[in-house]
Chains A and B, each alone.
Chain A
Amino acid sequence: MNETGPVLSADGTPLKRSLARALRREKFRAFLLVSPLLIFILVTFIAPIADMLFRSVENNIVQDTIPRTVHVLRGWDPDANDLPPEEAFQALYLDISLAAEMKRHTRLGSRLNYEKSGMASLFRKSGRGVGKFDADIYTDAIEDMDPAWSDPATWAEVFDDADTRAALPVTAGAWAALNDHFASQGKELKKRDLEDYLFAALHLDTRDGAPVDDPGVKAIVAAQAATPFEPLDYQAAFADIDEDWVDPDVWKTIQTYAASYTPGYFLNSADLQLTPAGIEARPENERIYITLFQRTLFMSLMITLSCILLGYPVAWLLANLPARSANVLLIFVLLPFWTSLLVRTSAWKVLLQQQGVINDILVWIGLIDNAGRLVMINNQTGTIIAMTHILLPFMILPLYSVMKTIPPSFLRAAKSLGATNWTAFWRVYFPQSVPGIGAGSILVFILAIGYYITPELVGGTQGVFISNRIAFHISSSLNWGLAAALGTILLAAVLILYWAYDRIVGIDNVKLGG
């Protein structure tokens, strides 16, 4: 009867929908089971990495610290090779005064110092210097007119009015920024926090008249209409702090790096630089990163290769010995894991240095003379030896677990069919162990590419990796943007290699065990 209608389940709903619902519930349950780990990884692993990588292009600091100056510089043509207009210096005065109040100017100085030497001290000095400008003439003049201006309450009242704010944009902006800062610190604005720059801003807003109703502001406008306040030469005042402020190159650098997002860090990572004139190659004596990237990749490959060469026979032995002796051998393989990395690295120093154990023995048995002691450390050789030793277990263990699953009868069968030892190994055994080599190589290579303690200690000048520079920029120079850019490139290189491996060998061919 129901041949044409849908199949119904016991409760009368179509079977198809019922099944879909059941499956959905199943999936949801599976997701719930996974979700704690997923959330954990997202919060503690993916998010911080994404945040760090984002810093490689993020450059809000210029815009956030000196917004008014950046705004004026948008209309400035740097090619004319002149200084920016007086408005830029006025804006800079307000920006640096506020930034100094919030202690943000030196950070901007350090940021710009990555691009041009001297910016760090320029901003540091200017943070102190702007407080000594002659802007107190405005403070005195305005407070003489009405002492109420020295009280923050007056300011709060005046700028509570939206029309006044619109009529006095410069002052309103500075006042709002100051208030926000104090609010975020949980502090109360006191009389002495009303500094000269607020009055200077008020002067800038009112010197050509201002359409306001506020009687206090009106009085200031009227006073200036009668006898204008003496104008302050901001450019000369900045030149007094440091001659660099009248150097157009300084302003060009600020303008070049004013954007919120910058390719500058990535360009630096490729030994290029972003200049006002466009992208340029760095001078020869400052190029380093491309060399380091190449070296890191090359040395990691060398280390992976030597791990395969040394690890394969050991893994073979482990897989084919009787269980009791294999276990003892396995402990020897694992032993280095239980020793501190620094101890192992230092041990290599003692062995390999020119006055070290190996050289002493070679001299003693007369293979080399005392003057011809071998240099085996503080160079690439030392790095490859020490890191191969440290990473060897990561090669042996996957190889061993894969070799364990290859039945010994295969080799016997090959031989009984007439194969020589070599043919039996090469045609029958080796192809089955390739997934182990693949897994071990990926592990060793990826670990090697990010190593930095061992290269730092035994690498000398020719054996250091890119990760040493990343560590330096994270913890010493605090150039996190550049560190992030270098890290992003390293991550991309690994992903590309992984992709290439998948294309050539096939990622299904990787096994960590039976």
Chain B
Amino acid sequence: MKLTTTVLATSALAISAGASFAEGHLADELTLVSWGGAYQKSQQRAYSEPYAENTGVNFVWDESSSEAVAKLRAMNEAGNITWDVVDVVAADAIRLCDEGLAMEIDHDEVLADAPDGTSASDDFGDLIVSDCFIPQIVYSTTFGYRNDLLEKAPDSVCAIFDTDTYPGKRSLEKQPIANLEWALICDGVDISEVYDVLETEEGQDRAFAKLDTIKDDTIWWSAGAETPQLLADGEVSIGSTYNGRLFSVIEEQNQPVSILWDWQMFDLDGWIIPAGLPEDRQARALDFVKFATDTQRLADQAKYISYGPARASSAPLVGKHADLGIDMAQHMPTDPNNAQNTFLFNYEWWADYRDDLDGKFQAWLAQ
């Protein structure tokens, strides 16, 4: 009796499992990888909470985005991929795609059209920097300064090299990217020639020589939270960090800090789906990504954090901050007033020169 019930139950389960497979079974758990902090919080409020409400999917978060490439490589070697959707910067997405670790997608087929019918690939435009990359936000690395510690408000990024007019310590990221570009721009190199100059030995020496002039006045950061803390404590008078962090220092914590948008360095952040997922998990990941990157959802994220939505069609929908009630459009790095002088992180160039320049940069730091 008992045996027959078990057999019956098992076969019923098998049949129902078979049936749901036939109609495209979706996994009911989704492991998302992101950066933690306020950024991940904004993703939870804009994307995962509404999605969970609609579908009942259970979300598992892993704050490993800074090591995403290393970990995905290791998972791939071990043959066990535990992540479903991974938030990475564009440079990492390109690397993962090139190595076959991320799934290539057809953006028009997989992602939603804009409300006016524009196809996804047109809506995202140039921001689709790789076949695997699903853009999400545009952010920038730029400078914040203390109003009360500087007599004159700086209007150019070159203020960081002018310690007479703008006294006090500076904070810069402990890596060559962006710092060398700023050094050359302020040494009189035209933006269009920066990378050509930086390719040569003399150009690199020139950039390091420029950085030498403020080496003793600089505190080097490696975590995004450091500059906001240093600014809030008055430890530095001007320092670079991500624009969202500065927004939070200024608007949420009401510190006497302002943003200097001159020559902000744009970068992109977005989703990738690891290659080789089982069918049900991949289907779920695609379904989530389609939802999370539609025009409205991308505009929603800007309610919680000051990063620009990657879709052109989302820009007009950006409204007020959910908790503070302030207009977010003017705080976006992409706002025309803020984006007068910008440069985009040159992925391909840095892929070539990063190993070399990083070695030189570290040796220069240690001298």
Contacts and interface: CB of A to CB of B under 8 A. Distances in A.
B234 A285 contact: no
Nearest to A114: B355
B70 A102 contact: no
Nearest to A124: B98
A408 interface: no
A119 B351 CA distance: 9
A119 B355 CA distance: 11
Contact of A103 (B99, B234, B356, B363): B99
Contact of A353 (B223, B235, B349): B235
B73, B362, B364, most chain A CB atoms within 10 A: B362
B100 A118 contact: no
A107 interface: yes
Interface in A416-470: 456-457, 460-462, 464, 469
A387 B359 CA distance: 26
Contacts of A104: 99-100
B163 to A, nearest CB: 15
Interface string B355-367: 1101110111110
B67 interface: yes
Contact of B222 (A286, A356, A456): A456
A461 B235 CA distance: 17
A198 B210 CA distance: 53
Given A107-B99, A478-B69, A457 B352 contact: no
B362 A288 contact: yes
A249 to B, nearest CB: 14
A477 B355 contact: yes
Contact of B366 (A107, A117, A349, A461): A461
Given A103-B99, A103-B100, A121-B352, A460 B363 contact: no
A292 B366 contact: yes
A476 B174 CA distance: 13
A291 interface: yes
Contact of A285 (B100, B219, B235, B360): B360
Contact of B233 (A114, A127, A353, A462): A353
A477 B175 CA distance: 12
B220 interface: yes
Given A106-B99, A120-B351, A288-B363, A356 B356 contact: no
Contacts of B356: 117
Interface in B43-72: 66-67, 69-70
Nearest to B349: A121
A120 to B, nearest CB: 5
A117 B352 contact: yes
Nearest to A356: B233
Category for how many chain B residues contact A? 35 or more
Nearest to B276: A185
Nearest to B104: A103
A325 interface: no
A287 B367 CA distance: 10
Interface residues of A, number: 42
A424 B358 CA distance: 57
Contacts of A488: none
A134 B362 CA distance: 45
Contact of A355 (B234, B348, B365, B366): B234
B350 to A, nearest CB: 9
B321 interface: no
A469 B363 contact: no
Nearest to B169: A354
B238 to A, nearest CB: 15
Contact of A288 (B169, B348, B366): B366
B352 A113 contact: yes
A349 B349 CA distance: 36
A478 B68 CA distance: 11
Contact of B66 (A113, A285, A464, A475): A475
Interface string B99-131: 110000000000000000000000000000000
B362 A469 contact: yes
B354 interface: yes
Contacts of B69: 478
A442 B104 CA distance: 51
Contacts of A119: 352
Contacts of B95: 106, 110
Contact of A102 (B100, B223, B354, B366): B100
Interface string A347-380: 0011001111000000000000000000000100
A262 interface: no
Nearest to B364: A285
A360 B352 CA distance: 47
B99 A355 contact: no
A476 B173 CA distance: 15
A305 interface: no
A474 interface: yes
B73, B100, B348, B359, most chain A CB atoms within 10 A: B359
A306 interface: no
A63 interface: no
Nearest to B356: A117
Contacts of B351: 110, 113, 120-121, 124
B18 to A, nearest CB: 21
Contacts of A462: 366
Interface string B72-90: 0100000000000000000
Contact of B73 (A118, A472, A478): A478
B21 interface: no
A44 B360 CA distance: 37
Interface in A235-252: none
Contacts of A60: none
Interface in B214-240: 219-220, 222-223, 226, 229, 233-235
A111 B365 CA distance: 25
Nearest to B348: A121
Contacts of A456: 222
Contacts of B358: 472, 477
A479 interface: yes
11 contacts: A104-B99, A106-B95, A107-B99, A110-B95, A121-B349, A124-B98, A286-B359, A291-B366, A350-B233, A475-B66, A478-B69
Q: Which 5 A-B pairs have the closest CB atoms?
A: A103-B100, A106-B98, A475-B67, A117-B356, A461-B365
Interface of B: 66-67, 69-70, 73, 95, 98-100, 169, 219-220, 222-223, 226, 229, 233-235, 348-349, 351-356, 358-360, 362-366
Given A355-B234, A472-B358, A478-B69, 4 more contacts: A117-B353, A117-B355, A118-B352, A461-B365
